[in-house]
Structure 1
Amino acid sequence: MQALVIVGHGSHLNPGSSTPTFSHADTIRETGVFDEVREAFWKEEPSFREVLRTLESDEVYVVPLFISEGYFTERVIPRELRLEGWDVSAWDSEDGVSATYATSRATDVEKTVHYCGPAGTHDSMSDVIVRRAESITGESDMGAGFGLAIVGHGTERNENSAKAIQYHADRIRESGRFDEVKALFMDEEPEVDDVTEFFESPDVVVVPLFVADGFHTQEDIPEDMGLTDDYRTGYEIPTEVDGQRIWYSGAVGTESLMADVLLERAAEAGADVRGVDDWTQSEPEGVADD
Structure 2
Amino acid sequence: MGTIRSMERLRRAALVLVGHGSVRNAQSSAPTRRLAEILHRRELFAEVTACFWKESPPLREALTQVNAAEVFVVPNFAGAGYFTHEVIPREMGLSGPLTRVADAKGGVRCIHYTPPVGAHPRLARLVLRRTTAVAERHALDPATLCLLLVGHGSRHGSSETAEALAADVRRTGGLGAVRTAYLEQEPRVKAWPSFVAEQDVLVLPLLMAEGLHGSEDLPPLFGVSAADLAAITDVPAVGARFRDRRVWYCQGIGRDPEVIDIILDQVRQAAERT
TM surpasses 0.5: yes
In the TM superposition, structure 1's runs of 4+ consecutive aligned residues that sit over 6 Å from their partners are none
**Letter of the aligned partner of 1:147 in structure 2?**
C
Structure-1 separation of matches of 2:203 and 2:163: 14
Deviation at 1:232, TM superposition (A): 5.6
Structure-1 separation of matches of 2:112 and 2:208: 22
Q: Is the 8 A contact 1:105 1:112 kept in 2?
A: yes
The structure-2 alpha-carbon separation of the partners of 1:187 and 1:76, relative to structure 1 and needing over 3 Å to count, comes to: closer
Instruction: Please list the CA deviations of residues 223-273 of structure 1 after superposition, one character each: whole Å capped at 9, or x if unmatched.
Output: 233x05xx567679311223321011132222222112211111110169x
The aligned counterpart of 1:193 is: 190
Q: Is the 8 A contact 2:81 2:160 kept in 1?
A: no
The aligned counterpart of 2:3 is: none
Structure 1 residue aligned with 2:99, among 104, 123, 127?
104
- Indicate the larger mover: 168-177 or 250-259: 250-259
- What is the TM-score of this pair, normalised by structure 2? 0.80
**Letter of the aligned partner of 2:270 in structure 1?**
A
Deviation at 1:195, TM superposition (A): 3.0
Higher relative contact order (CA 8 A, sep 6+): 1
The structure-2 alpha-carbon separation of the partners of 1:23 and 1:43, relative to structure 1 and needing over 3 Å to count, comes to: same
Structure-1 separation of matches of 2:272 and 2:19: 20
Structure-2 separation of matches of 1:271 and 1:19: 30
Q: Is the 8 A contact 1:82 1:108 kept in 2?
A: no
Structure-2 separation of matches of 1:203 and 1:117: 33
Using the aligned pairs only, state the percent identity: 33
- Indicate the larger mover: 240-249 or 25-34: 25-34
Write the mapping of 1:1-290 to structure 2, written as runs, cut at 5 A: 1-83=12-94, 86=95, 90=96, 102-107=97-102, 110-133=108-131, 139=137, 143-155=142-154, 157-159=155-157, 161-225=158-222, 227=223, 237-270=238-271
Structure-2 separation of matches of 1:62 and 1:130: 28
- What is the TM-score of this pair, normalised by structure 1? 0.76
The structure-2 alpha-carbon separation of the partners of 1:154 and 1:80, relative to structure 1 and needing over 3 Å to count, comes to: closer
Deviation at 1:132, TM superposition (A): 4.2
The structure-2 alpha-carbon separation of the partners of 1:111 and 1:36, relative to structure 1 and needing over 3 Å to count, comes to: same
* Residues paired across the two proteins, number: 251
Deviation at 1:197, TM superposition (A): 4.3
Deviation at 1:114, TM superposition (A): 0.7
**Letter of the aligned partner of 1:206 in structure 2?**
V
Q: Is the 8 A contact 1:132 1:252 kept in 2?
A: no
Q: CA RMSD in A?
A: 2.8
Q: Is the 8 A contact 2:114 2:270 kept in 1?
A: yes
Structure-1 separation of matches of 2:89 and 2:109: 14
Q: Is the 8 A contact 1:11 1:44 kept in 2?
A: yes
Structure-2 separation of matches of 1:234 and 1:122: 30
Deviation at 1:35, TM superposition (A): 1.9
Q: Which runs of 5+ in 1 are unaligned?
A: 91-101, 273-290
